[in-house]
Amino acid sequence: METRIIKKENLAGIVKKLSEDMLVYAPVQEEDNVLFKVLEKGMEPLIEFDNAKNAPKNFFFPQTETMMRYLKGERGEELTDVPEEMQEAVLFGVRPCDARSFVLLDNVFNDSKYRDPYYAERREKTTIVSFACVEPPYTTCFCTSVDGHPFSTEGIDISLVDLGDEFLAEFLTPKGESLLVRLGELPKADEASMSKKEALSGEAADKIKSKVPGRSIKPWLDENFEHPFWDTIHQSCLACGTCTYLCPTCHCFDITDEIKKEEGKRIRSWDSCMYWLFTMETSGHNPRPSQKERWRQRLMHKFKYFVDNFDAIACVGCGRCVMYCPVNIDIRKIVQDISKL
């Protein structure tokens, strides 16, 4: 593994330089929000920030994606377009929790049996550069409870660790190493930097105070599809899609055709289990008739079904749903409450 040292004051410049030659996604300040955006000329990538409000899943699994276009011709419908070729890209500045979300999503979209060509190609062509959480950004962070770690390297190609005045850059994968030549001359990291990183890593994990028994509720979920507890959590839920849309691991989608006169396109767009329309059937029957069933689904999907299918919890502990739920429905509390049942 290659390791390098990058001076703090140089990092933003390196990222901006990179964005001249290739597609770079980076966290930027947009009014009051920190958001992952395509870095365009004149935009400043953030080096010191907590985390972006939007999860970076959008770059692999866009909120809306055109899968094909068609045109009504004389001989029926003709396909007129195939998706453009994906570009080489760098996703800069992700937190380890968000990087882990890609490993989880790979189970769904880039499995040996089912390979989603759009997602898979973007994943393959994108190099992921992360900031280890030396200071876990929020008190709502709970990555250590869902198999994560503030210094996790899962899903990461290049990991940056803030050592004070400089960053330790670890080139963890061949994809990461291949980016090295584009970054200019960088000094190699010494032993001292490496051991400093080890120390910071242990301290960081201790700083995560929010603890959730993520794994241990599984047996209860296995047995209690029907339980009075499910009547309690959804009462104040607005049934909006904030939690699922900001979630790095939520990945449900819907496919629709949009037709204007003779032209049509087939699009895939994010959907949310919180919406009543999500399971609405053409007959008018809805197998999840109320918010109770929808909430149960959200919990079950993250802490049971995904574990059954892939032996992983579909939650990375980023805390976005906790922080941004308009009515403060706290998934940490729900999991804790279940563990006491």
Partner 1 sequence: MENIENKLREEAKKLLTEKKVDALVGYEEGTLPFQASPCIITEPEEADKLVWNAFCSVNLAKYVHDIIHRHRESQMRVKPEDRTKKIVGIVARGCTTRSIAIHLQEKQYDRDEVVIIGVPCTGYIAKKKLSKAVKGKEVIECTIEGDSVTAVTSEGSIKIPLKEVLSDSCLSCRYNNPVISDLMIGDAAPPMDPEKEYEDVDAFEALSEEERWAYFTKEMDKCIRCYACRNTCPSCYCKQCFVEQNQPRWVGVGVDQTDTQVFQIMRIFHQVGRCVDCGSCIEVCPMGVDLRKFLKKLDKDGFELFTHRAGESLDSPPPLSAYSLTGDKDDFIFEP
Binding stretches for partner 1 (CB under 8 A): 30-34, 50, 53-54, 63-64, 135, 137-140, 235-236, 238-242, 245-246, 254, 256, 258, 267, 269, 272, 275, 277, 290, 322-324, 326-330, 332-333
Shortest distance in whole angstroms from residue 179 CB to partner 1: 30
Shortest distance in whole angstroms from residue 304 CB to partner 1: 23
Q: Report the C-alpha gap between 98 and 91 in whole angstroms.
A: 11
Cβ closer to partner 1: 33 or 80?
33
Cβ closer to partner 1: 107 or 242?
242
**Beta strands 89-94 and 76-81, pairing class:** unpaired
Q: Report the C-alpha gap between 51 and 33 in whole angstroms.
A: 10
Which stretches does DSSP call E strand in the chain?
A: 2-7, 23-30, 33-38, 64-73, 76-81, 89-94, 126-131, 158-162, 166-171, 253-260, 263-270
Cβ closer to partner 1: 54 or 152?
54
Residue 266 has φ and ψ, to the nearest 5°, of -105, 120
Q: Report the C-alpha gap between 171 and 24 in whole angstroms.
A: 18
Other CB atoms closer than 10 Å to residue 32's CB: what's the count?
6
Cβ closer to partner 1: 67 or 194?
67
Q: Evaluate whether 72 touches 103 at the Cβ level (below 8 Å).
A: no
Q: Report the C-alpha gap between 279 and 254 in whole angstroms.
A: 10
Provide the β-strand partners of residue 7. Answer: 166
Shortest distance in whole angstroms from residue 193 CB to partner 1: 25
CA angle 279, 55, 253 (to 5 degrees): 20
Cβ closer to partner 1: 136 or 148?
136
Q: Report the C-alpha gap between 103 and 101 in whole angstroms.
A: 5
Shortest distance in whole angstroms from residue 72 CB to partner 1: 18
Shortest distance in whole angstroms from residue 34 CB to partner 1: 7
| 227 residue type, one letter | H
Cβ closer to partner 1: 86 or 323?
323
Cβ closer to partner 1: 112 or 282?
282
Shortest distance in whole angstroms from residue 324 CB to partner 1: 5
